[in-house]
Structure 1
Amino acid sequence: MEFLALDFETATPQADSPCELGIAVVRGGVVREVRNWLIKPRQWPYFSPWNVAVHGIRPSDVAEAPRWGGIWDEVATLLDGATVVAHNAAFDMSVLRSTLAAHNIGHPTFQYFCSVSMARKVWPGRASYGLKPMCDMHGIPLKHHRAGNDAEATAELVLRAADQRPSFDITQFLLDAKVNVGAFYPGGHRTPGGKVTVASAY
C-alpha cells in the first residue's frame, strides 16, 4: 500500500498563508519518511494570534524559511501521480489550491481523499472523528497541530483502517470502504463530492 499523508498549518485565516507543510510517505504499508517544511508566507511578518495559539509557529520561526516557490519543485515531485490523504481534506486542499493560484503555479496531477470521511465509513457511530480522538482510540502518538506530526498520525490512521479490510492496494481499499476521491489536475480540481473548479493559475 502506497500513499502520502499531507498537513498544512497556516499563518492567518487566509487559505494562501501556509507556514508549515508536512508530508508522510507510505510505501509497502509502512511510513518510510516524514518530510517537514517551514514556509515564509506572503503575509509575513503578520501572523494571526489565533493561528499562533493553535500551532505555536511565530513569525520569527519562519524568518529565514523559504518562500513557497522555494519548496514547490520538491513538493510537486512527491505529489505528482500520488494518492494523497489529509484529515479534513477540504481545508488542506483549499490551502494548496489557493497557494498555487497566488503564486501562479499550475496544478500537479494526483488523487486525494479525506481521512475524516474514511473514518466515518470504517468506524461508524463514534462521538468524534477529530484527529486527536481518533489517534487516542488507536494508540497513535500525536503532537497535534504541527504539520509533520499530523501528517504521520494521519498516515497511521489510514493504515489502521486498512487493517479492517482485505485490500493491499490503496485504490482498492478506497473502493471497498466506499470512500469518495477527489483530484487535482492541470486544468482544475474536483472535490470528493464531485464539484469541479477550473484552475486559476497559468
Structure 2
Amino acid sequence: MDFITIDFETASADRNSPCEIGLTFVKNRQILETKSWLIKPIYNRFDYFNILIHGIRPEDVADKPEFPELWREILPLIENQFLIAHNASFDMSVLRKTLETYQIPFPSLNYSCSYIFSKKVWQGLPGYDLKTLCSINNINLNHHRAGADSRATAELALKAFDVAEVLCTDDFPEKLKTTIGQLYIGGYSPSVSKRVYKPKR
C-alpha cells in the first residue's frame, strides 16, 4: 500500500495561490519522509485571513521559486502515483487551478480523500477535520503548515486502513465506500463517497 499525501497552503482565497506544498511518502505502510517547499504565489499577494491561519507572509516567500520552477522538481515525484489529501476537493483544485494559470498540462495520477473515507471508518464523530481526527487518534499535529499536515494525513490514512482492513486501492469502493479520483491530461474525475443502495421493501 504505497501512497503520497499532499497538502497545500494558499496565500489567498484564490485556488491558484499556493504558498506552500507538503508531500509525505509512504511505502509498504511505512512513512519514509516528508518534504515541503515554500512557493512564491502569483503576484505575491496575501490575504490577512490566510496569514492568520498558516503564518506565512509575503516576505517569507519573496525569494522562493514560483510554481512553474518548483513543478519541475515535484512532477517526477507524483506522476503516476496514488495521492491522498485531507479534503482532496480543496488540494486537488489548488493543483488544477495553479496548473491552468501557468498553462501547464495536468499530470496523470490517482487520488483519494481521507476526509471522505474517515467518515466511513469512524462513524458518528462530532467532526472530521484533520485536527479532530488527529486528536482522537493520538496523532501529533502542528496544524496549517503543509509538511506537518501531509504527515498527519499519512498517519491518519494508515490508521484508517488498519481499522478497515484495506490492503490496496482495489479495496476502497467496498471497504471505504469511496471512489478513486483521477487527474489526467485534459481533465479529472473526483474522489467521492460511493453511494450505498438499500434494497426496497
**Shift in Å at residue 188 of structure 1?**
0.8
1:20 partner SS = strand
Q: Is the 8 A contact 1:111 1:184 kept in 2?
A: yes
CA deviations over 1:150-201 (Å, ceiling 9, x no partner): 00000100000011133332x134232221221100121111249xxxxxxx
Aligned to 1:19: 19
Question: CA separation in 1, counterparts of 2:71 and 2:116?
Answer: 28
**Shift in Å at residue 69 of structure 1?**
1.1
**Shift in Å at residue 143 of structure 1?**
0.2
Question: CA separation in 1, counterparts of 2:171 and 2:63?
Answer: 41
**Shift in Å at residue 49 of structure 1?**
0.2
Question: CA separation in 2, counterparts of 1:173 and 1:55?
Answer: 35
Question: CA separation in 2, counterparts of 1:179 and 1:58?
Answer: 36
- Number of equivalences: 192
Identity %: 42
Residue range with higher mean Cα deviation, 158-167 or 131-140: 158-167
Q: Superposition pairs for residues 35-184 of structure 1, below 5 Å?
A: 35-44=35-44, 46-169=45-168, 171-175=169-173, 176-184=175-183
Query: What amino acid is the match of 2:170?
Result: Q
Moved over 3 A (4+): none
1:163 partner SS = helix
Is 2:29 the partner of 1:29? yes
2:164 partner SS = coil
Task: List gaps (5 residues or longer) in structure 2.
Answer: 194-201
